[in-house]
Chain A
Amino acid sequence: MQPAARLPDLRNLGVSLRILLLTNLMALIAAILRSGNLNEILPALAELSAALQPILLLSLLLLYACQPVLKRLPYRWSVLVILALELLISSLSYYFAISIFGPDSMPPLSHSLILTLVITGILLGYFNLRQRALSPAVTEARLQALQARIRPHFLFNSINAVISMLRSDPKRAETALMDMADLFRVLMADNRDLVPLAQELALCRQYLALEKIRLEERLAIVWKIDSMPPDAMIPPLVLQPLLENAVYHGIEPMPEGGEITINIYASHDQVHLLLTNPYHKQNEHHNGNKMALTNIRERLALHFDAEAQLTSKISEHSYQVHIVIPYHRNKAA
């Protein structure tokens, strides 16, 4: 999937530094071209700098100020606005220079306007290419990080539970191992593409079947999925890690266990996923939980940008995660 072109973050220090550096590099090249010999380069650069630096600094400040507005515009429009801004700044500084140093102190206005357009164009082109080069790497890294994060606690306890059944109940052990294989196949797969909700749900059932072996009647699941749209497309491994958290933090610390409620429905072209589990104040080791939530939130943003959201709330006895994603139907079906 080719990411849409976007402006760089104009409030990012690194971006500002790149703009400063590249512009001055271009000035250096111009100074070298204009000079006959080495001794003339420095004075030529100083002369160019005197004209360039005020425009450059003013531009950076203005872009910083306009960043929230520019960010919301479509890419084409934001490029046009930036070009217009730069032309304005360079005209203003031209007239300012003339009013102080006299009309003969500067080359004609058209000259500096063309230069402004070229330099701004080169910079925008550079940032566009840079973004294209980086995006897939960033995405990949995040997905890798997620895959490395299956809880070892679950893995080893499940293997232990299966071993305990091998002699007494080989049929059940076989099913459990098959479920485990399916689960790990998904965990280790290339998870960049969206999958139908029904597929993620099947995975959740297999995961819960494994947990049921360990926790027996302590783990109760309530499914409210009668009005679930099975063809809705969601990023893989959105629900399963949340269930794992619910079991680890909500069920395992309770001697009598508890109930996890999974409620999925569609409304107004949005799919809602609600997960509720018991919550007790004493068990406040929620670091692992926060990591999973951050990761899922990032992946939702990657796929749906601002159209998806994930919220969590704690009430006295329960913890709830609520995910809203746009309802995209499975085109293959």
Chain B
Amino acid sequence: MSAAQLKILIADDEAPARNRLRELLSEIADVVVVAEAKNGKEVLALAAETSPNLLLLDIRMPEMDGLEAAEHAQKLEPPPAIVFATAFDAYAMQAFDKNAVDYLLKPVRLERLQTAILKARTLLPAQLEALKALHPQRSHFSVSERGRVFLVPVADVIYLRAELKYVTLRSKEREYLIEDSLITIEQEFGERFLRLHRNCLVAQAYIRGYEKHHAPDGECHWVVLLKEVPETIAVSRRQQHVLRELGN
């Protein structure tokens, strides 16, 4: 593999579609396919191992679609260029056209693939925003750790707590620092996470119960008990109505 070669990762859940892309790419000079992924999660794992320059992402894939994978891939260092592929996704195509995001229509023509590779660039912030609008809720949070992108399924998140500059995400196994803000997370996921304190969102599914705690000075306050982890979360006076609504 010479240094001038463009390293490409291809992703599609259908084997024939991957074969077709590989076949076409083999006819183009100075490119090499370094990995093939079947879904967005594999894209991120394989990208960390092979550091491709370009991701060719199918949009509709199980577990994590191409749009979300592209978003998480921004945390790779350096972020790869991205070209999407789709058989037919009217919404996405409209948004791509509007925001000058390049995409390939399947079946892909060789000449079209060549120009896409020549033009391929990393996504601009405005383009990323447009992609976010296409999938209202992501399936995973991503954490960048030493050049790798670590994925935490949203379903595994027990609570999120804001501390100084960062937000701490707690899953069953461990804690992670993420860069999202509590407000955007609240807006994105709605009912899934309850705001129990100014600085804390708790996953409704992990609430085991709640009890009253008496502080030594006579003050009493409510805390929430959680499944899977021993710690408790204090409920602020202003948010106690959330618990009441939950009890109903």
Contacts and interface: CB of A to CB of B under 8 A. Distances in A.
B17 interface: yes
A160 B107 contact: yes
A52 B65 CA distance: 69
Interface in A213-264: 213-216, 252-255
Given A153-B87, A153-B88, A164 B62 contact: no
Interface stretch (B8-16, B71-79, B94-102): B8-16
Interface residues of B, number: 21
Chain B binding surface SS class: loop
Contacts of B20: 160, 163-164
B23 A253 contact: no
A255 B19 contact: no
A167 interface: yes
Contacts of A155: 87-88
Contact of B62 (A153, A163, A255): A255
Interface in A142-189: 152-153, 155-157, 159-161, 163-165, 167-168
A27 B246 CA distance: 67
Interface of B: 13-17, 19-20, 23, 38-39, 60, 62-63, 87-89, 105-108, 139
B16 A160 contact: yes
Contacts of B107: 156, 159-160, 163
Nearest to B90: A152
Interface residues of A, number: 22
12 contacts: A152-B87, A152-B88, A155-B87, A155-B88, A159-B107, A160-B16, A163-B20, A164-B17, A164-B19, A167-B23, A213-B16, A214-B16
Contacts of A161: 14, 16-17
Given A161-B16, A252-B60, A156 B23 contact: no
A156 B60 CA distance: 13
Contacts of A152: 87-88
A254 B61 CA distance: 9
Contact of A160 (B17, B39, B60, B139): B17
A156 B23 CA distance: 18
A157 B106 contact: yes
Contacts of A168: 19
A165 B16 contact: yes
Contact of A157 (B17, B63, B108): B17
Given A156-B106, A160-B108, 9 more contacts: A155-B88, A156-B105, A156-B107, A160-B17, A160-B20, A163-B20, A164-B16, A214-B16, A255-B63
